[in-house]
Amino acid sequence: MRLLFHALCVLHCITLSYAGNKELQKLVKMVNSLNTTWKASEEIFDSIPDEVFEQLYGTTFNSTDNIEVLSSFAYANTGMIPESFDARTQWPHCPTIRYIREQGRCGNCWAVAATEAMSDRYCIHLGKVLSLSAADPTTCCTRCRPKPAGCRGAYGPEAWIYWKEEGIVSGGDYRSESGCKPYIFPPLTKSKYDVKPSKAVTPSCIRRCRPGYKSSFNDDKHYGKRVYKIRGRTIRENEMAIQMEIMTNGPVQAGIKVYEDFLGYKSGVYQHHYGRLKGGHAVKIIGWGVENNVTPYWLVANSWSRKWGMNGCFKIRRGRNEGNIEGRVVAGLPMY
């Protein structure tokens, strides 16, 4: 069954034929007709072409890696977990936590979410404001699986292992003069960069920094010291372990199953109601809380621009592995 789901994820990243706006409009109306915990909206489809959504899923769940596994027993004082937590306010001096990246039309969410969380952790642990380049692992991670990775997607932990073994250079937004290797794909939303909504193709790896940058590619590499998965023996233990990891070390990467109704998410606490499975997607969990003193949720940063969801973020039901959000959580610590 796992192998079948893995195959479906990869096929969805590559070959999914999109049904169009009418189907999504129908889903939005169906969700909003329910007395549920979240609201959907058609607004996002004015900013993001509907045929582009099929290109965004790029993480798979059937990984055979042997990285370290941490459970709630790895943390002390699990009884001190607060009802709510937001990494943005816990570490206000770290702007990367608040920043929403745009992955563009490339299924490299596995690299985007990972480098976001790594950048946050450099600031939290070292006091260094640094934006690691998602373009580096996207184009140069030859060990990342399933091959070829890049815009075709990869297993959740791959970018973290690459960070530890080969290092990742710095890099800012598309067409920016920030860092060694700025992002290489234009924004997802309709913009001056658009020609037509074509799918991104992974460029060849170029191991050198942009012209005029102060350091060489190898000298600009930043490394991870430790990489691990967070997994408890029970759903509750798993939830507590994720909370303790975020409180202690910063945001984490998670993999979720994306269903059609998720595309129209606007506000509230998401839980799946309608639509088919579209594929796997990597995101960054930055906190948690309880909506209206009733519904527990994870607070999550997406990479589909600030025009999507709640300024680029969303809430998803916590404590029952909604969309597999608690099933594939990965993190690590920077080299000191």
pLDDT at position 61 is: 55
Please pick, among 140, 180, 302, 313, the residue that the annotation labels catalytic. Answer: 302
Name which residue leads in pLDDT, 146 or 37. Answer: 37
Tokens of 171: 């890099």
User: Which of 9, 141, 281, 313 is labelled catalytic?
Assistant: 281
147 or 51, higher pLDDT: 147
Whether the per-residue pLDDT at 325 is higher than 90: the answer is: yes
Spans of all domains in the chain: 2-334
C-alpha 289: how far from chain center: 19
pLDDT tens readout for residues 65-101: 678 888 766 776 767 899 999 999 999 999 999 999 9
The active-site residue out of 13, 109, 144, 209 is 109
- Predicted confidence at residue 1, as pLDDT, reads 37
Q: Spell out the CATH class of 2-334.
A: alpha beta
**pLDDT tens readout for residues 241-252:** 999 999 999 999
Nearest to 178 by CA among 131, 137, 146: 131
109: annotated active-site residue: yes
Q: Residue 302 catalytic?
A: yes
pTM recorded for the entire structure: 0.89
Q: What would the DSSP string read from start to end of 272-304?
A: --SS-EEEEEEEEEEEEEEETTTEEEEEEE-SB
